[in-house]
């Protein structure tokens, strides 16, 4: 069988932009660092891409920040707020338990925080991921005075992203003169590099500006430009063609080391703005963002070559799927989404810690990771034959294990309870919903199992030993959290299911979580066997007596207490047989009836980007590939993918939703291996070529 022409497959979906659009930005990055460019190929039009302005009635807008997995800041805490200050007591069968639930997000976004909720508001907003700085053009007249230019002042705009090489190519005209820009990011370091060509540089009408904002503790804002007194930017000229800018934001410090032609000069134009000018028409600039240390930034050609090699290696590794021979008119669009989603998740979701929902492009929830979303961000890396990209973030769980154990102990449990919404240090963020979610708990087990399945025997043995403590402590909590009642084991209140609109004080036995609890314990049992231990008898007893989900009118409901099933938000009950493999907890025939029931009557505008792939995964396991494709391609407001591949959810509040991209890849990889002997299982009209996939459990 002929191999897929991967270069042709990838290249036919290179994004191309010919006019400015506040929603269309292009990003280059490496999983831990990313630079996002506007139509100029740099970060020139800050106001045009300001989401706060868009909130006042404008179109969906995406910021153009420079972000990393290591760039975090914490606002001063003069009142010394601690997590205990945001806790409330909840009654359980074990007695009173305190949860950090005192936070009103909507009030905080409106600036209406009460004294009672002030600790929760501060703890929820801190730490925040920071914009490391903007590098963009400055337009000037013949006298050197700065001109206020807007995107529509540019003509003949042409911009494309070469997915195979990770390179943005931009050209435009200003005042009749041509400007060309090439933008790349190093494959392993926080280095952005630019090659710029224009006579406007030579005659002084075009310069390069570097601007630095203060951190912002808002929900979706990345930058505070109005508080220059709160931070410090210091220019140190090292020598010809080199300079360093030292940054301090309260206790956060980092540097930007610059390399540029000797014919260029750099000076401070304002307190936090620096101007690079040159007498050359061709100009290379390399910017190395780093927390500590000093080194000479690599030249542009080196960064470009290393990026190209790394991206070619990425596309040639792992799996590929080609729909080009399909007659179904939806095939080309699905292939486009698949290719762009691979690129976007590699740039944003393959770093040293679980990513935020908007990755390294812009902020949401102050830049924090949502651990219940980590599965959707990154599980697909393993099933697409790239387990090493998922592994990058799994060690982070080891780094916060002690904190997760403290959380469990504080609630009266042994083991480790994983948080929901966190910064790099792993502290829970107070929230009346997130503090009670439990479906993130088995995620680390499932992610490890996927990596193990995609690894060779030697690496599999290493993983079993390396993560034995994480697996054990995760399962110990799960076994303690579930409670015996009338001979069965139940998930009892206070608990919030993945469909986040139920009463935590009365909810019991959410369907998805019951199946996931059984599967998580099963993974932990297998892990014990891999490390030479016997299966745990207590865990086996829990598995054998796991409560069955509630059934009404022949289909499952979301929970086992009233109102049983709301028909909005996530139809997460379907994940119990789709995301989770077959278990004794779920009857496939009843799940088929449940799938049909959901498809027949759901408030689809309220669903989220990962819900459509969940339906596809359930349909796939039930042998209904036709339904799976219909779900993936369903024309709903939150199931759209822009020209550059972004899955927008809530306008400018959540203009990028990487769980939508990652879950799409998860569902497609399941379809690619759902047939006999792990062959593709697609409906009539789909002629599919695949290679390199790892089957799901």
pLDDT at 108 over 90: no
List phi, psi (to 5°) of 631.
-65, -45
| Dist. CA 44–CA 25, nearest whole Å | 12
pLDDT at residue 532, as a whole number? 96
Share of the chain above pLDDT 90, in %: 94
Residues 251-278: what's their mean pLDDT? Answer: 96
- Answer yes or no: do 479 and 586 share one domain: yes
Q: What is the mean pLDDT of the chain?
A: 96
| Dist. CA 431–CA 124, nearest whole Å | 8
Confidence label for 293 from pLDDT (cuts 50, 70 and 90)? confident
- Answer yes or no: do 267 and 416 share one domain: no
- Answer yes or no: do 374 and 250 share one domain: no
- Answer yes or no: do 397 and 291 share one domain: no
Q: Which of 612, 636, 660 is the C-terminal boundary of a domain?
A: 636
Residue 332 lies in a domain: no
pLDDT at residue 587, as a whole number? 98
List phi, psi (to 5°) of 257.
-100, 130
pLDDT at residue 1, as a whole number? 54
- SS3 of residue 485 by DSSP: strand
pLDDT at residue 71, as a whole number? 98
**Closest of 132, 135, 107, 131 to residue 121, by C-alpha:** 107
Residues 97-104: what's their mean pLDDT? Answer: 94
CATH number of the domain where residue 29 is located: 2.70.98.50
pLDDT at 584 over 70: yes
Residue 618 lies in a domain: yes
Residue 117 lies in a domain: no
How many domains in the chain?
2
pTM over 0.95: yes
- Answer yes or no: do 175 and 242 share one domain: yes
pLDDT at 238 over 90: no
- SS3 of residue 305 by DSSP: helix
CA-CA-CA-CA torsion sign (192, 242, 46, 144): negative
Confidence label for 374 from pLDDT (cuts 50, 70 and 90)? very high
**Per DSSP, what are the bridge partners of residue 160?**
16, 169
- Answer yes or no: do 265 and 384 share one domain: no
**DSSP state letter for 228:** G
- Answer yes or no: do 135 and 219 share one domain: yes
Residue 658 lies in a domain: no
Per DSSP, the residues of 420-484 read: SEE-TT-PPPP-TTGGGB-TTTTHHHHHHHHHHHHS-HHHHHHHHHHTHHHHHHHHHHHHHHSEE
- Answer yes or no: do 532 and 458 share one domain: yes
pLDDT at residue 434, as a whole number? 96
- Answer yes or no: do 186 and 280 share one domain: yes
Compute CA 294 distance to the chain's CA centroid, rounded to the nearest angstrom. 30
**Closest of 91, 98, 71, 282 to residue 190, by C-alpha:** 71
| Dist. CA 566–CA 572, nearest whole Å | 11
pLDDT at residue 147, as a whole number? 96
pLDDT at 617 over 60: yes
| Dist. CA 389–CA 209, nearest whole Å | 34
- Do residues 694 and 383 touch, judged by C-beta distance below 8 A? yes
Confidence label for 443 from pLDDT (cuts 50, 70 and 90)? very high
**Domain that residue 430 falls in:** 368-636
Share of the chain above pLDDT 70, in %: 99
pLDDT at residue 345, as a whole number? 98
Burial of 535 (0-12, 13-18, 19+ CB in 10 A): middle
Confidence label for 109 from pLDDT (cuts 50, 70 and 90)? confident
**CB count, 10 Å around CB of 292?**
7
Residue 274 lies in a domain: yes
The kind and range of the H/E element at 273 are strand 273-278
pLDDT at residue 296, as a whole number? 87
- Answer yes or no: do 534 and 437 share one domain: yes
Residue 326 lies in a domain: no
Instruction: Summarize pLDDT for 17-67 with one digit per residue, the tens.
Output: 999 999 999 999 999 999 999 999 999 999 999 988 777 677 999 999 999
Residue 623 lies in a domain: yes
pLDDT at 160 over 90: yes
pLDDT at residue 56, as a whole number? 67
**Residues contacting 413, CB < 8 A, separation 6+:** 477, 480, 481
Residue 299 lies in a domain: yes
| Dist. CA 416–CA 274, nearest whole Å | 48
Residues 217-230: what's their mean pLDDT? Answer: 95
Residue whose pair of structure tokens reads 């930007």 in the numeric block: 256
Residues 639-661: what's their mean pLDDT? Answer: 96
The kind and range of the H/E element at 665 are helix 658-671
Instruction: Summarize pLDDT for 330-372 with one digit per residue, the tens.
Output: 999 999 999 999 999 999 999 999 999 999 999 999 999 999 9
CATH number of the domain where residue 415 is located: 1.50.10.10
Q: Which of 580, 607, 636 is the C-terminal boundary of a domain?
A: 636
pLDDT at 151 over 60: yes
- Answer yes or no: do 308 and 372 share one domain: no
Residues 654-662: what's their mean pLDDT? Answer: 97
- Answer yes or no: do 194 and 264 share one domain: yes
Q: Which of 614, 636, 658 is the C-terminal boundary of a domain?
A: 636
Residues 318-329: what's their mean pLDDT? Answer: 97
Hey, what are 197's tokens? Answer: 């060509």
């Amino acid at each position: 069988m002929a191999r897929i022409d991967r270069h042709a497959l990838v290249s036919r979906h290179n994004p191309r932009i010919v006019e400015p659009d506040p929603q269309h930005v292009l990003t280059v990055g490496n999983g831990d660092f990313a630079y996002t460019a506007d139509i100029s190929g740099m970060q020139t039009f800050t106001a045009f891409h300001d989401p706060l302005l868009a909130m006042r009635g404008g179109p969906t807008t995406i910021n153009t920040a420079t972000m990393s997995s290591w760039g975090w800041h914490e606002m001063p805490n003069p009142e010394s707020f601690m997590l205990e200050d945001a806790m409330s007591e909840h009654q359980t069968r074990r007695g009173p338990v305190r949860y950090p639930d005192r936070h009103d997000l909507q009030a905080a976004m409106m600036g209406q925080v009460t004294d009672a909720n002030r600790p929760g508001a501060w703890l929820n907003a801190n730490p925040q991921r920071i914009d490391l700085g903007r590098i963009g053009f400055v337009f000037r007249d013949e006298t050197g005075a700065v001109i206020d230019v807007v995107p529509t002042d540019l003509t003949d705009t042409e911009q494309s992203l070469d997915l195979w090489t990770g390179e943005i190519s931009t050209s435009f005209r200003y005042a009749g003169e041509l400007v060309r820009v090439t933008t790349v990011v190093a494959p392993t370091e926080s280095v952005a590099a630019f090659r710029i060509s224009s006579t406007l540089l030579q005659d002084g009408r075009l310069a390069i500006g570097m601007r630095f904002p203060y951190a912002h503790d808002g929900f979706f804002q990345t930058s505070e430009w109005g508080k220059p007194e709160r931070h410090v930017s210091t220019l140190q000229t090292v020598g010809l063609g080199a300079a360093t800018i030292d940054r301090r934001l309260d206790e956060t410090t980092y540097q930007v080391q610059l390399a540029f032609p000797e014919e260029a000069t750099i000076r401070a134009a304002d307190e936090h703005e620096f101007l690079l000018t040159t007498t050359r028409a061709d100009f290379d600039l390399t910017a190395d963002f780093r927390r500590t240390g000093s080194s000479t930034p690599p030249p542009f050609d080196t960064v470009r070559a290393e990026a190209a090699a790394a991206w070619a290696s990425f596309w040639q590794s792992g799996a590929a799927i080609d729909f080009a021979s399909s007659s179904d008119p939806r095939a080309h669009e699905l292939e486009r989404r698949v290719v762009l989603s691979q690129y976007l998740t590699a740039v944003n979701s393959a770093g040293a810690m679980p990513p935020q929902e908007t990755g390294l492009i812009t902020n949401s929830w102050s830049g924090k990771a949502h651990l219940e979303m980590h599965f959707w961000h990154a599980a697909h890396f393993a099933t697409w034959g790239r387990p090493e990209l998922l592994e990058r973030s799994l060690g982070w769980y080891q780094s916060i294990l002690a904190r997760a154990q403290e959380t469990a102990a504080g609630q009266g449990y042994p083991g480790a309870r994983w948080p929901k919404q966190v910064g790099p240090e792993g502290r829970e963020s107070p929230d009346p919903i997130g503090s009670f979610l439990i479906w993130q708990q088995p995620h680390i087990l499932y992610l490890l199992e996927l990596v193990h399945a995609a690894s060779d025997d030697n690496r599999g043995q290493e993983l079993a030993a390396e993560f034995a403590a994480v697996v054990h402590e995760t399962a110990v909590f799960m076994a303690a959290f579930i409670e015996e009642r009338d001979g069965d084991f139940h998930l009892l209140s206070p608990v919030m299911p993945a469909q986040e609109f139920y009463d935590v004080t009365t909810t019991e036995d959410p369907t998805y979580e019951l199946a996931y609890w059984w599967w998580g314990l099963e993974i932990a049992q297998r892990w014990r066997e891999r490390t030479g231990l016997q299966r745990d008898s207590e865990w086996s007893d829990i598995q054998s007596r796991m409560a069955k989900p509630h059934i009404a009118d022949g289909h499952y409901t979301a929970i086992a207490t009233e109102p049983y099933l709301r028909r909005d938000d996530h139809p997460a009950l379907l994940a119990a047989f789709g995301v989770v493999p077959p278990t004794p907890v779920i009857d496939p025939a009843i799940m088929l009836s449940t799938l049909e029931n959901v498809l027949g009557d759901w408030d689809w505008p309220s669903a989220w980007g990962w819900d459509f792939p969940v339906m596809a995964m359930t349909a796939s396991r039930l042998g209904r590939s036709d339904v799976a494709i219909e779900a993936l391609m369903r024309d709903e407001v939150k199931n759209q993918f822009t020209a550059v591949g972004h899955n927008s959810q809530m306008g400018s509040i959540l203009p990028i939703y990487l769980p939508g991209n990652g879950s799409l890849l998860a569902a497609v990889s399941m379809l690619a291996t759902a047939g006999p002997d792990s062959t593709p299982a697609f409906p009539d009209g789909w002629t599919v070529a695949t290679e390199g996939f790892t089957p799901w459990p």
